[in-house]
Structure 1
Amino acid sequence: MTRPDDVLGYWLDEVGPSGWYDADAARDTEITDRFGDALEEAKEGAFSLWLTYASGTLAYLILTDQFSRNIHRGEAEAFTTDRISRAAAKAAIGHGWDFKIDEPARQFFYLPLMHSENLCDQDRAVRLILTRMPDQGASNLLHAKAHREVIRRFGRFPFRNEALSRETTEVEKRWLDEGGYGATVRALKEPA
């Protein structure tokens, strides 16, 4: 059975910040091999005891919000644990457990909100990163603002449309063709 220390040791120590956001097929395979069964168990309600303390919740969030995206990259299933991850993050933030985790790992309490297609969650993610990650939040803040801008503009993430079998509107298609998310980040980085 997977333990929180298995998840944390792998993600925080073995992979580390330099690899957290790489789209790497070999890493996706490794995560699938090591944690695919645990993700399926989490979908069925396992690991509730992890949600009773800060580091356990951190492991749960990494499993359900990050590893789901590695294991099911480009598929609708990548987003099936977003709801439970978001609920766990909100509860943990309410308890102040995010403060018990040092930066940069603290960001994993806020990413489920940043991954939400709800503008209130997006606003909260921006506020939390701005106020609770003063040492290492600049890049995270830029991406939180970019995610929020996409939700403000479209009410959803157009880059998920294909995986979720959603029809892409003409406005979304034009945005995607003009650089999509990357262009949004650049525009926020270098305002006109």
Structure 2
Amino acid sequence: MVTPENILTYWFDEVGPKGWYGGGAELDSEIRDKFLPTWQEAKDGACGLWLTYPAGTLAYIILTDQFPRNMFRDAGEAFSSDKSARAASKIAINRDWDLKIGEPARHFFYMPLVHSENLIDQDRAVRLICSRMSNAGAENLRHARAHREVIRLFGRFPFRNAALGRPSTEAETAWMAEGGYAAALRAVDSSAAA
């Protein structure tokens, strides 16, 4: 049986930042092999006891927000537990449980908001990273601002459209052809330099 501690040890001690942001087919397969049944249990409503303390909630958020993006890369299922992750994140933040976890792990409490296709969540993510993380979170803030910019432009993430079976608008297609997310990062960097 997978425990919250197993998830935290794996994600922070074994995978680390290189895997968090680099990933790849080998890591995706490893996460699927180790955690798919536990993710399915959480999706089906199990793992409720995890949500009764800060570290357990963080493990739940990683299980329902981060792991599906690896296990189901480029498929709609990658986003199917986002709502659960977002709810856990908001409850934990309201209880200040994020502040009981050190950096860089704290950042993962905010990721479900960064992944949200809702501008209010996006604004909150940026505020939280600004107010609750040190300067070491600068790169996280840069990406949070880029995600927010995409939601300001389109109200959704166009790079998810294919996986979710959503048709892209002409504006979204043009934006993706012009660099998509990389263009959003450049826009954030340009406004920061101005």
Cα distance in 2 for residues equivalent to 1:58 and 1:137: 17
The match for 1:76 is: 76
Cα distance in 1 for residues equivalent to 2:115 and 2:157: 9
Contact in 1 for aligned 2:19/2:27 (Cα 8 Å):
no
* Deviation readout 1:65-101 (Å, 9 max, x if unpaired): 0001100110000001000100000000011000010
Q: CA deviation at 1:47?
A: 0.6
Q: CA deviation at 1:136?
A: 1.7
* Deviation readout 1:137-191 (Å, 9 max, x if unpaired): 1001000000000000000000000000000000000000000001110221134
Contact in 1 for aligned 2:98/2:106 (Cα 8 Å):
yes
CA RMSD of aligned residues (A): 0.9
Q: CA deviation at 1:37?
A: 0.6
Q: CA deviation at 1:18?
A: 2.3
* Deviation readout 1:31-80 (Å, 9 max, x if unpaired): 00000111111110111000000000010000000001100110000001
Gaps of 5+ in 1: none
Query: 182-191 or 124-133, which moves further after superposition?
Result: 182-191
- TM-score, normalised on structure 1? 0.98
How many percent identity over aligned positions? 61
Cα distance in 1 for residues equivalent to 2:155 and 2:76: 18
For residues 43-192 of structure 1, the aligned pairs below 5 Å read: 43-191=43-191
The match for 2:21 is: 21
Cα distance in 1 for residues equivalent to 2:30 and 2:18: 17
Gaps of 5+ in 2: none
Q: SS of the residue aligned with 1:62? A: helix
Letter in 1 for 2:152: R
Letter in 2 for 1:13: D
**Counting helix residues as a fraction of each chain, which structure ranks higher?**
2
* Deviation readout 1:111-153 (Å, 9 max, x if unpaired): 0001000000000000000000124210010000000000000
Contact in 2 for aligned 1:117/1:151 (Cα 8 Å):
yes
Query: After TM superposition, which residue ranges in structure 1, 4 or more long, deviate above 4 angstroms?
Result: none
- TM-score, normalised on structure 2? 0.97
